[in-house]
Amino acid sequence: MATTRAALTDSDIRMLVKGATPDERALAAHKLCRTIDRAALSDEERQIAHDILRVMAADAAELVRRALAVTLKNSAALPPDVANRLARDVESVSLPIISFSPVFTDTDLAEIVRVGGPVRQMAVAKRPKLSSRITAMLVDQAPEDVVAAACANDNARFSEVTLQKALDRFAKSEEVLQAVAYRTALPLSVAERLVDMVGDQLRDHILANHGLSAERTLELIIGAKERATIDLVDQAGRAADPKAFVAHLHKVDRLSPSLLLRALAHGHMTFFEWAVAELAGVPHHRTWLMIHDAGPLGLKAICERAGLPPRLYSAFRAGVDAFHSLEFDGGAQDRERFQERMIQRFLTSPQNASREDADYLLERMDRGANRRRAKSA
């Protein structure tokens, strides 16, 4: 083993095997591992190196085995049988290898997930790269904190089915829901489902970052009456002092874009005006003029000043236009008629909805019409 011996003397190798103390053997192990990792070895030399690594992995001293694990945790030079042996060792030895070693196959990682327990499962969940097979196993078998860590790992691949299972299994877990919501990319079905499961802050993040159309966003918001925050929309319509009400919501960080859109979708224009004024830091009378300006620029400008997401502008525009075109008579059907008019505005606006979204919204209009016919029958 000429290359290795050029860097390590015979005494170093003897020290590895027969060193009087664990510290001496660990030092020799560290030096030899660095050489094995960096040297260009022939097939014969590599085989000898692997045999030496197996000696290290069997050393009675934890310090020696840890020196091996830490030094070669990122190395492709580590033999798979040695990596798997170290993965079953005590945590100080196993975790560096499980967390980083590139020599594990999916079959190896699946076995670690199956028998390794929560601590080793966590190490798997945080690896630099994970296949959809392993994330599916973690979602099926691992505890909440491990699944949250895997979902927060954007280098871990998840199938749509696995993400849905994570939401099924941990529907009440804020940690898991947040981890899923903040993934860089989400299937549309997962993003839409999350909107109904999370609080305002995460909901706004999903609506702003996961590709839901303005039309679909409106549908999700209007149709989510079961959310606890819908109470705020009802309060918005009843508030005797809308200025103080929106100031309080702003102070407690509840004056979110989705709340404004829900309130507007329910016809609470006064609340919408005061909320936009609060967010924009513009007096109400000036905000009123910009919102109700017949031209195309006033509403857009005040929404931008208020920091509202640009992609929701068309939804706000449709709401304002629908409000102007519909007189409220106090009847039981006011809200449904108003929502239907908003959807019609979407479908007929210059910023046309996609064919898929238009079909979806037309289907919703049909359902609304059917409900009204059933009530009048």
The string of DSSP codes covering 171-189 is: TT-HHHHHHHHTSS---HH
Q: Which H or E run contains 221?
A: helix 214-222
pLDDT of residue 4: 43
pLDDT of residue 107: 97
In this predicted structure, the answer to whether residue 295 has a pLDDT above a threshold of 50 is yes
pLDDT of residue 105: 97
Residues 18-23, mean pLDDT to the nearest whole number: 72
Residues 48-63, mean pLDDT to the nearest whole number: 87
Residues 78-89, mean pLDDT to the nearest whole number: 95
pLDDT of residue 244: 83
- pLDDT-based confidence at residue 65 (cuts at 50, 70, 90): very high
How far, in whole angstroms, is CA 203 from its chain's centroid? Answer: 11
Count, in order, helices (H) and strands (E) of the chain. 25, 0
Residue 290 structure tokens: 């910009």
Q: Which of 103, 149, 157 is nearest to 131 (CA)?
A: 157
pLDDT of residue 257: 82
- Report the alpha-carbon distance of residue 338 to residue 340 in Å, rounded: 5
In this predicted structure, the answer to whether residue 58 has a pLDDT above a threshold of 80 is yes
> Packing angle between helix 214-222 and helix 257-265, nearest 10 degrees?
70
Mean pLDDT, the chain, whole residue set = 79
- Report the alpha-carbon distance of residue 314 to residue 205 in Å, rounded: 18
In this predicted structure, the answer to whether residue 167 has a pLDDT above a threshold of 50 is yes
In this predicted structure, the answer to whether residue 70 has a pLDDT above a threshold of 90 is yes
Non-local CB neighbours of 40 within 8 Å, separated by 6+ positions: 3
Residues 232-257, mean pLDDT to the nearest whole number: 75
Residue 39 structure tokens: 């040297």
Query: Cα separations (Å) of 249 from 27, 236, 262?
Result: 62, 10, 15
- Report the alpha-carbon distance of residue 59 to residue 55 in Å, rounded: 6
- Ranked by mean pLDDT, the top range of 209-218, 279-288, 324-333 is 279-288
- Report the alpha-carbon distance of residue 254 to residue 285 in Å, rounded: 23
pLDDT of residue 310: 81
pLDDT of residue 355: 47
- pLDDT-based confidence at residue 142 (cuts at 50, 70, 90): very high
Q: Which of 245, 206, 220 is nearest to 315 (CA)?
A: 220
- pLDDT-based confidence at residue 161 (cuts at 50, 70, 90): very high
Higher pLDDT, 250 or 25: 250
- pLDDT-based confidence at residue 358 (cuts at 50, 70, 90): very low
Task: Compute φ and ψ for 132, nearest 5 degrees.
Answer: -65, -25
In this predicted structure, the answer to whether residue 84 has a pLDDT above a threshold of 90 is yes
